[in-house]
Structures are given as C-alpha cells and as structure tokens.
C-alpha cells in the first residue's frame, strides 16, 4: 500500500496521513445516481462492503439526489445493470453525515470536496475508526467517490 499525505511537513504528516485511497468518477451516464456508481466502484476496487465502512460523508446537492443514490445502492437491478454485481446494500444512516451535510451546513462551491475529506478524516480520528467513504456529485451529472483508510499511527 502506498502512503499519502496532504501536507509534506513532518509535524503535520501524522495528522493527515492515510494509507489507501481509491477514487472513481463517472460522467453523465446515470445522473443523478453517479454518487452511487462511484461509491460502488470504490468499494469494489478495495474489496470492501458497506459493513466494512465506519464513516460516510455524502455531498447532498439536493434531497432527491441523496434519496435516489440510497435507493440505487440497495437495488439489485441497478447494481447488476450499472456495476455488474449484486446489490451493495443499505447504507447505515447512523454513520452518514453525522455532523450535518451540505444541505444543513451549506456547501462552499468549489470547496465541497475539501470539506468532505476534512470532516471524514476528523471523524476517523475522533471516533477511532478505520475506513471512510466520501461521495459527491458535480456539474453535468458527474459523480466521484473516495475511500480513506486511517493511518495506523494516527
């Protein structure tokens, strides 16, 4: 596994390091469920399931987008058609956006990804957890998701 760090200085490395990330992005294909597609792809690449994930941070552009993505993750037909696997499952809402999401705290256009990574990293440390999945939709129906694995020394 490769080790990555947001900051290059020795003093901050342990606070922002993560061991593994997987990143998937999809174009307009199935907008507005591209967050679902990207999340499913990230989990598949990492060989993980929803049960392995401790922290979820999903960007909510609007409520309908979130609801459609949650349904798609739990749909056998959608998962077979779009990610060629059995249904992903029901995302545990008690682990999702526990500090609020974009609808409640706002989303600074162009900085939402930074907020998602920062909040997920902070939650991994504060809650003493290992894995986080982040997902966001973007202009034109794009979807992107990322898996963070907490560094063992952090």
- Give the residue-averaged pLDDT of 84-105: 85
- Total domains in the chain come to 1
Q: What is the extent of the structural domain holding 143?
A: 22-150
- The predicted pLDDT at position 131 comes to 92
- Give the residue-averaged pLDDT of 130-137: 88
- The predicted pLDDT at position 123 comes to 92
The answer to whether residue 71 is domain-embedded is yes
What is the spatial distance between Cα 128 and Cα 10, in angstroms, rounded to a whole number?
22
Is-contact 130 136, C-beta < 8 A? no
The answer to whether residue 121 is domain-embedded is yes
CATH number of the domain bearing residue 37? 3.40.47.10
pTM: 0.79
**CA torsion through residues 2, 73, 25, 64, sign:** negative
18-76 tens-digit pLDDT: 555 555 666 555 566 777 778 888 888 888 999 999 999 988 777 777 788 888 888 89
């Amino acid at each position: 596994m490769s080790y990555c760090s947001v900051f290059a200085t020795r003093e901050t490395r342990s606070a922002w390091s993560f061991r593994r990330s997987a990143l998937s992005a999809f174009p307009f294909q199935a907008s507005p469920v591209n967050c679902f597609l990207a999340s499913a792809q990230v989990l598949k690449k990492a060989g993980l399931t929803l049960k392995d994930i401790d922290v979820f941070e999903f960007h909510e552009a609007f409520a309908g987008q979130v609801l459609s993505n949650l349904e798609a993750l739990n749909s056998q037909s959608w998962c077979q058609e779009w990610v060629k696997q059995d249904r992903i499952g029901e995302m545990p809402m008690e682990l999702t956006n526990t500090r609020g999401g974009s609808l409640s705290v706002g989303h600074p256009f162009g900085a939402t990804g930074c907020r998602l990574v920062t909040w997920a990293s902070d939650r991994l440390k504060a809650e003493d957890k290992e894995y986080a999945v982040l997902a966001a939709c973007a202009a034109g129906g794009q979807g992107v998701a990322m898996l963070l694995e907490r560094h063992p020394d952090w």
